[in-house]
Amino acid sequence: MARYSVIVKKTFSAAHSLEGHPGRCSRLHGHTWEVEARFTGDETDRSGMLLDFDTAGGALEEVVSALDHRCLNELVPFDSVPPTAENVARVVFERLKEISLSAGDFGVATLESVTVWESRDSAAVYSA
């Protein structure tokens, strides 16, 4: 069965440290994080779209702007869970889901996954 996908991408800059990590990541350091959100669905709406790019991008921007130019370790929930790429992906996914449920803006689309790139070579994915 064919499915449609819409992907939006945003970046933010933030610092973090991974307490207990055996290497240099235990020290405070920063990244320009790239976040991709993938929405999927079996059909388009009456306008022929699965999801408007502006709607999806605006929701993702709302989530990542709260992380931008911050030390992630100081933010909830990263004050109690490590701010790894895996956990950042999960938190962004959960916050996007909250926006979707409260605003109903994603129409026929479903949030499928969030990918967080910590560098151009390393990413973590969280999916439903």
Whether residue 118 lies in the annotated active site? yes
Q: Which of 43, 62, 69, 74 is catalytic?
A: 69
Whether residue 16 lies in the annotated active site? no
Q: Which of 25, 34, 71, 86 is catalytic?
A: 25
Question: What is the DSSP pairing of strand 110-119 with strand 70-71?
Answer: unpaired
Whether residue 71 lies in the annotated active site? no
Dihedral sign computed on CA atoms, order 119, 6, 1, 112: positive
Question: How far apart, in Å, are the Cα atoms of 42 and each of 16, 49, 52, 118, 124?
Answer: 38, 11, 15, 31, 25
Residue type, 98: E
- Beta bridge mates, 71: 15
DSSP assignment of 93-127, as one string?
HHHHHHHHHHH-TTTT-EEEEEEEEEETTEEEEEE
Please give the positions annotated as active site.
25, 69, 118
